[in-house]
Copies of this chain bind each other. A is one copy, B any other.
Amino acid sequence: SRAMSKTYKIAVIAGDGIGKEVTPWAQKALEKAAQGVADFEYEPFDLGAERYLRDGAILPDDELERIKKTDAILLGAVGDPRIKAGILERGLLLKLRFALDQYVNLRPSKLYKGVTSPLANPGDIDFVVVREGTEGLYCGAGGAVRRGTPQEVATEVSINTAYGVERVVRYAFELAMKRRKHITLVHKKNVLVNAGDMWQRIVDKVGEEYPEVTHDYSHIDAATIFLVSNPSKFDVILTDNLFGDILTDEAGAVVGGVGYSASGCINASNEYPSMFEPIHGSAPDIAGKGIANPTAAILSAAMLLEHLGFDDAAKKIHKAVEADIEELGSTERTTAQVGEDILARI
């Protein structure tokens, strides 16, 4: 930990629905955990469904430029059922991931003591999905001809580069060294032979530099089985953009709900700010009631601290969250109660 405190500029995109309710608690946790070590200055950005519905703006260039100058981003959740699927996803969330070159989508899954898993025998679940964030089927390369006619053809193109794969593979091996030293590559290399073969070759090659780390391979379909039948077998799951999306939602369910899962969209070379968020959405059904669980948002603050190098401060949050869930996880509490309870333990 550092002796002198420095001021970090955090872009805050609280977003929509419960995003606005949980994000203040992430900020409070950040402050308290980093007291005396780092100071934070916040720059709020009014982005998301509400903004879009109000003035049609999704992510104006000058706002993106201002976000680029911050040290990190806290995101709540964006989305509203009135907006057609794809507009905010591609125009805001994915645009941020791509423009800020956030090539590591880091998604830890942990079954906390005190949380009930839907699995009868979950075992000890504690793994991290390292999902590639800037390539694959998410790059927006696709199109349609003769739209709306019986002759319509629609394509989606997955673009994968050795450059893009190798950097995220290296990240996964470094992470595995700090954990239980095992990586499972997930792909569908028996069907997607071009991309799958490249992923496997790069994992094999980089793996030679990490003799202590073992690695194996699972097809995406088999991986969805293991998440249900034997999730404790995983340590680091390394996968592409789409498979990572799918696996992390299933993983969130297996550890008792997306209310306990945070994620980071990380530019590991630090050219641009990284972004931290709970994996849940804006949840319009419970928005405004003050009952959203802020735990995942608070955990995203811990990920932000880790990313900036404040491991001790991050640990304070993790410990507080673990203790809170173990003791009070099954009680019904308001957003503010959970927030205060966790804060009191930091």
Contact = CB atoms under 8 A, between A and B. Distances in A.
A203 to B, nearest CB: 14
A242 B257 CA distance: 25
Interface of A: 85-86, 89-90, 94, 116-121, 137-138, 142-144, 146-163, 166, 188-198, 201, 220-222, 224-225, 227-229, 242, 245-250, 252-254, 257-258
A85 B194 contact: no
Given A90-B191, A188-B242, A225 B250 contact: yes
Given A120-B118, A249-B224, A192 B142 contact: yes
Nearest to A221: B249
Given A153-B159, A194-B142, A245-B221, A228 B90 contact: no
A238 B332 CA distance: 37
A194 B155 contact: yes
A152 B159 contact: no
A244 B113 CA distance: 34
Contacts of A161: 151-154
Nearest to A200: B85
Nearest to A142: B194
A155 B159 contact: yes
Contacts of A119: 118-120, 228
B253 A189 contact: no
A257 to B, nearest CB: 8
Contacts of A159: 153, 155
A144 to B, nearest CB: 5
Contacts of A147: 198
A117 B225 CA distance: 12
B191 A89 contact: yes
A221 B220 CA distance: 13
Nearest to A202: B152
Contacts of A221: 245-246, 248-250
Contacts of A154: 160-161, 194-195, 197-198
